[in-house]
Amino acid sequence: EVQLLESGGGLVQPGGSLRLSCAASGFTFSTYAMSWVRQAPGKGLKWVLSISSNGESTYLVDSVKGRFTISRDNSKNTLYLQMNSLRAEDTAVYYCTKSYGMDAWGQGTTVTVSS
């Protein structure tokens, strides 16, 4: 069974940093692209970043360029999201998803940016 388990969310002040992790199991992690999708409170889904299976290519939405970084450790079956210079508008549930067709989703981890 495919499982994605996010962690690392929490309350952070504007301008602060957080690192999210997504532990994957039940599939060959190193052969799939992975993505982060977020959902602000009461809002719809928004794609944020993707990374290729070998980690060599990354893709980001403009609003997080220069602030967020996606990476992966295929030896640990883990996906990461480093978030710096956080803003109030980054407040959301962050989901880890498998493949570009997003055929599996984690349960999400909540990031709240507030003073």
Partner 1 sequence: EIVLTQSPDFQSVTPKEKVTITCRASQSVGTSLHWYQQKPDQSPKLLIKYASQSFSGVPSRFSGSGSGTEFTLTINSLEGEDAATYYCHQSSTLPYTFGQGTKLEIK
Give contact residues for partner 1 (rule: CB under 8 A). 35, 44-47, 50, 59, 61-62, 95, 100-108
Cβ closest to partner 1, residue 80 vs residue 95? 95
Q: Which is nearer to partner 1, 16 or 53 (CB)?
A: 53
Which of 95, 87, 45 shows the shortest CA–CA distance to 66?
87
- What's the closest the beta carbon of residue 4 comes to partner 1, in angstroms? 9
Residues 6+ apart with CB under 8 A from 7: 20, 21, 22, 23, 109
Q: Whole-number minimum distance, CB 75 to partner 1, in Å?
A: 26
How many CA atoms lie less than 13 Å away from 107 in the CB half-sphere?
7
CB of 107 to partner 1, least distance (A): 6
Residue whose CB is less far from partner 1, 16 or 91? 91
Quick one: 2 or 13, whose CB is closer to partner 1? 2
Tell the smallest beta-carbon distance from residue 83 to partner 1 (Å).
18
**Buried/exposed 76-111: b ≥16 CB within 10 Å, e otherwise:** ebbbbbebeebeeebbbbbbbbbeeebebbbebbeb
